[in-house]
Amino acid sequence: MSTHAVSAHVRKPGWFTVQVLNRSVAWLTRRGVSVWGSRVLAVRGRKSGEWRTTPVNLLTVDGRRYLVAPRGHVQWTRNMRAAGGGELHLGKHVEEFTATEVTDDDKPAILRAYLKRWKAEVGIFFDGVGPDSPDTELRRIAPDHPVFRITAAN
């Protein structure tokens, strides 16, 4: 779990992101086409127990895989904390996994790698911090961006 109290900092995506980008990426990913590491995350709702899905970017750093929440403490991150894992879908391939939340102190290198790969897509959610920003800036924003290390269940 995060070493800092959970912030209420959440950035809502704009209309174009929700209606066009997310839907397009999810549509392609459901058909087996990964767009820059995209997957469809399925995680059980913490209250309903129903499966909830959202497109995510799967990041690999030093052989470990991570899910980063660029928009902050959103529903899928709350559900992930409660469920402790979920499924990643790419077409018909489904991978079950367990998730461990990364501490804020361990996030800078992961956030840097994430921004290096997807800044054009999600940079607006990082308050001007980019892949070339100093570690102090990455640590400053770390509490606002949950990161989960994922491990295949089998």
Q: Which amino acid does the sequence have at 130?
A: G
Q: Could you say which DSSP state residue 96 is in?
A: E
Domain edges within the chain: 35-152
The pLDDT score that the predictor gives to residue 15 is 54
Q: How far is Cα 108 from Cα 113, in angstroms, rounded to an integer?
A: 9
Q: CATH assignment of 35-152?
A: 2.30.110.10
- Residue-level pLDDT at 3: 40
Number of C-alpha atoms within 13 angstroms, CB side, residue 64? Answer: 16
d(CA 52, CA 71): 17
Distance CA 57, CA 50 (A): 22
Structure tokens at 77: 């991150």
> What pLDDT, on a 0 to 100 scale, did the predictor assign at position 9?
53
Specify the amino acid at residue 74.
V
pLDDT given at position 8:
46
- Structure token pair of residue 89: 């879908």
Quick one: 14 exposed, middle or buried, by C-beta within 10 A (0-12, 13-18, 19+)?
exposed
Give the pLDDT confidence score for residue 91 in this predicted structure: 86
- Using 50 as the pLDDT threshold, list the residues of the chain that sit under it: 1-8
